[in-house]
């Protein structure tokens, strides 16, 4: 799938220079940046949900307790 992106000349130069410095294509740079942004937001959402659960229950579980609970 192809996606079109409009950027200024300065942004284009920045993207091209950064990609060239790292030995990747501009497409790879943008794809990786977008995926990382999405993953970071998912991680933050998961953290917020975990923190809320902890604040409600105030109980911590060890890894061994979690593993035993799954069996």
Q: What is the tens place of the pLDDT at every residue in 17-66? A: 999 999 999 999 999 999 999 999 999 999 999 899 889 988 888 899 88
pTM of the model: 0.72
Q: Note whether 25 and 19 are within 8 A (CB).
A: yes
Q: What is the tens place of the pLDDT at every residue in 5-17? A: 999 999 999 999 9
Rg value, the chain, Cα: 20
Nearest to 33 by CA among 7, 64, 65, 69: 7
């Amino acid at each position: 799938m192809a996606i079109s992106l409009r950027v200024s000349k300065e942004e284009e130069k920045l993207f091209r220079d950064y990609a060239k410095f790292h030995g990747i294509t501009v497409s790879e740079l943008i794809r990786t940046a977008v995926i990382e942004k999405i993953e970071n937001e998912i991680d933050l959402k998961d953290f917020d949900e975990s923190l809320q659960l902890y604040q409600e229950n105030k109980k911590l579980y060890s890894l061994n307790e979690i593993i035993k609970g799954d069996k």
